[in-house]
Amino acid sequence: IYVFDSQFLYDELRRDAADPNSNHDFGKDIIPYIVKHGRAVAHQFSDSCVRSGDDPRSYWRDVGTVDAYWGANIDLTDVVPELDLYDRAWPIWTYAEITPPAKFVHDEDGRRGQAVTSLVSGACIISGAALRRSLLFTGVHVNSYANVENAVIMPYVNVGRGARLRNVVIDRGVRIPEGLVVGEDPEFDGKRFRTTENGITLITQSMIDRLAT
């Protein structure tokens, strides 16, 4: 867990983005620079960790890259993940937006609202679409005939009808056009979006907007 003064963090992100010698990795570049040139205070996480199992190790993931961020989120969909969000002995205290429950609608062949091995947050609507091994944040709407697999989708994304999305991270508020296909042709995806060496595709609204130009 990192706690920053927001303006300081913005300044550091801009500085790192302009540095041609940086890998633009939070853990490898930004944090070491702050430790060397700024004021950083650390807490030994393992000293206050509550463990629900017998494993003596503390849970930790580096999420400084798109691949790592995707992996840490997708890990939560495992049957028994290393980080148990449902462990009542170690609740996660955070601001929680008050939302209606997730809703799954339509039950026809080829148009069935369903999710398997997935985490679906409040206010999501899965309308005749299929999800597999995906994590959806608050208020995501996945429209009919869409197929989503291995996806991490930020709040209030709208996935258009018939879209096929695989191995993606989708930024907050993005509107995915009807019929968009991502994750089946890495070379083609790389020309339209940001694709990592491990085949994870990052999609932002500005990237979607450029598709129409």
The better pLDDT of the pair 163, 84 is held by: 163
Helices first, then strands: H and E counts in the chain = 5, 16
Range of lowest pLDDT (7-21, 28-42, 148-162): 28-42
Joined together, the tokens standing for residue 43 give 């807490």
- pTM of full prediction above 0.85: no
User: Which residues have CB under 8 Å from 30's CB, separation 6+?
Assistant: 12, 13, 16, 64
Domain count, the chain: 1
pLDDT value for 52: 58
Q: Other C-beta atoms within 10 Å of 108: how many? A: 9
Q: Quick one: CA dihedral 93, 94, 98, 103, positive or negative?
A: negative
Q: What is the mean pLDDT of the chain?
A: 92
Joined together, the tokens standing for residue 112 give 């069935």
Instruction: Tell me, yes or no, whether 39 lies in a domain.
Output: no
Range of 121's domain? 103-211
Cα of 20 vs its chain's centroid, Å: 26
The better pLDDT of the pair 1, 61 is held by: 61
Joined together, the tokens standing for residue 73 give 């989120």
How long is the chain? 213
pLDDT value for 54: 67
Cα separation of 199 and 167, whole Å? 7
Cα separation of 43 and 164, whole Å? 43
pLDDT tens track for 22-49: 988 888 899 999 999 988 888 877 776 6
Instruction: Tell me, yes or no, whether 193 lies in a domain.
Output: yes
Instruction: Tell me, yes or no, whether 120 lies in a domain.
Output: yes
pLDDT value for 89: 79
Instruction: Tell me, yes or no, whether 186 lies in a domain.
Output: yes
CATH of the domain at 194: 2.160.10.10
Instruction: Tell me, yes or no, whether 160 lies in a domain.
Output: yes
pLDDT tens track for 68-101: 999 999 999 999 898 888 888 778 888 888 999 9
Q: What is the mean pLDDT of residues 49-58?
A: 66
Q: Other C-beta atoms within 10 Å of 96: how many? A: 9
pLDDT at 175 over 90: yes
DSSP 97-160: ---PPPEEE-EETTEE-EEES-EE-TT-EEES-EEES-EE-TT-EE-TT-EEEEEEE-TT-EEP
Instruction: Tell me, yes or no, whether 68 lies in a domain.
Output: no
Range of lowest pLDDT (49-63, 113-127, 135-149): 49-63
Q: What is the mean pLDDT of residues 98-126?
A: 97
